[in-house]
């Protein structure tokens, strides 16, 4: 052990001799099971009420050693259906990997737009090589014939709300976006939980609270109508009808 330590003191440490590949940090981690997808889905329907936009912070990393000066890198959006200035803030001509760093961040503001109520738009970020950085490593393996892109990140934005698999008709009645949002607004229930993992005990409470509100509004002369123009009501296990 001592001889190794002494040898290190005498010999110069090796410097980085590979390419300065740049890549999205989440695509390359030591534990393959922890690797994230090379795409993101932004579901505005699950955002807090009144949300108009969302800011993403996307980490970009380089394989090379840090240097004492700023280095620019470029990101293209050529394959996107999202429109700059409408669905997201237009990207600058280049971003900066700041001095003495091997990781830096892209800040990206996404905008919630009416067309997302019926459609999904895609913003495809692709890292491009330049005089500072290469993009030779374009993917990593996560299984047999399965790969993640390291230089491309696809962001899908939507405000579409489909009927959840766990929508209990006996409790909630027919599904509608308006009813779903009203239930969450009245009870403070997490819309993502209601859409994906609601428990029957919770749903009964949600149905009772919402029907009580509908009844109170009706008595006050304010009939709450559903998306299709019919009178909104909960399911038969709540109304007894």
Q: What average pLDDT does this structure show over 62-80?
A: 94
In a domain, 138, yes or no: yes
As a whole number of angstroms, the distance between CA 224 and CA 99 comes to 59
Region 132-153 average pLDDT: 86
pLDDT at residue 73 is higher than 80: yes
**Among the listed residues 213, 180, 153, 171, the one whose alpha carbon sits nearest the alpha carbon of residue 24:** 153
The count of structural domains within the chain is 2
CATH of the domain at 47: 2.60.40.2030
State the pLDDT confidence band at 27, using cuts at 50, 70 and 90.
low
Residue 146 has pLDDT above 80, yes or no: no
pLDDT at 197 over 90: no
> For position 144, what pLDDT does the model report?
77
Select from 240, 38, 241, 52 the least CA-distant residue to 155: 38
Average the pLDDT over 131-141 and give the result: 90
The mean pLDDT of 51-72, rounded to a whole number, is: 94
Q: What is the pLDDT of residue 87?
A: 98
Average pLDDT, the chain: 87
Which residue, 195, 166, 214, is CA-closest to 44?
195
Backbone dihedral angles phi then psi of residue 62, each to the nearest 5 degrees:
-120, 145
Residues 32 and 132 grouped into a single domain: yes
Q: Is the pLDDT of residue 223 over 70?
A: yes
Contact between residue 204 and residue 174 where contact means Cβ atoms under 8 Å apart:
no
β-pairing, 152-158 vs 39-43, is parallel
3-state secondary structure of 43: strand
Q: Is the pLDDT of residue 156 over 80?
A: yes
Residues 221 and 104 in one domain: no
Lowest-pLDDT choice from 136-145, 180-189, 229-238: 136-145
pLDDT tier at 107, thresholds 50, 70, 90:
very high
Whether 129 and 199 map to the same domain: the answer is no
Q: What is the pLDDT of residue 9?
A: 35
Domain membership of residue 4 (yes or no) is no
Residue 105 above 60 pLDDT?
yes
Q: How confident is the model at residue 154, as a pLDDT?
A: 93
Query: In this structure, are 126 and 188 located in the same domain?
Result: no
Domain, as residue range, for 214 = 169-239
Q: Do the domain assignments include residue 116?
A: yes
């Amino acid at each position: 052990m001592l001889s190794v330590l002494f040898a290190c003191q005498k010999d110069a440490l090796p410097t980085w001799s590979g390419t300065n590949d740049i890549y999205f940090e989440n695509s390359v981690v030591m534990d393959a099971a922890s690797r994230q997808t090379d795409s993101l889905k932004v579901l505005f329907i699950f955002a807090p009420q009144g949300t108009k936009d969302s800011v993403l912070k996307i980490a970009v990393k380089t394989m090379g050693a840090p240097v004492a000066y700023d280095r620019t890198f470029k990101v293209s959006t050529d394959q996107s259906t999202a429109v700059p200035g409408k669905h997201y803030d237009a990207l600058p001509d280049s971003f900066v990997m700041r001095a003495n760093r091997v990781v830096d961040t892209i800040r990206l503001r996404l905008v919630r737009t009416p067309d997302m109520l019926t459609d999904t738009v895609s913003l495809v970020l692709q890292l491009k090589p330049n005089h500072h950085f290469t993009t030779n490593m374009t993917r990593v393996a996560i299984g047999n014939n399965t790969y993640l892109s390291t230089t491309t990140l696809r962001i899908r934005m939507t405000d579409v709300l489909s009927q959840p698999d766990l929508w209990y008709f006996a409790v909630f009645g027919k599904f509608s976006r308006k009813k779903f949002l009203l239930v969450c607004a009245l009870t403070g229930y997490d819309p993502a939980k209601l859409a994906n993992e609601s428990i029957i005990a919770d749903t009964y409470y949600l149905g009772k609270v919402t029907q009580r509100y509908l009844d109170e509004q009706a008595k006050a002369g304010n009939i709450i109508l559903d998306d299709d123009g019919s009178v909104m009501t909960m399911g038969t296990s709540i109304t007894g009808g």
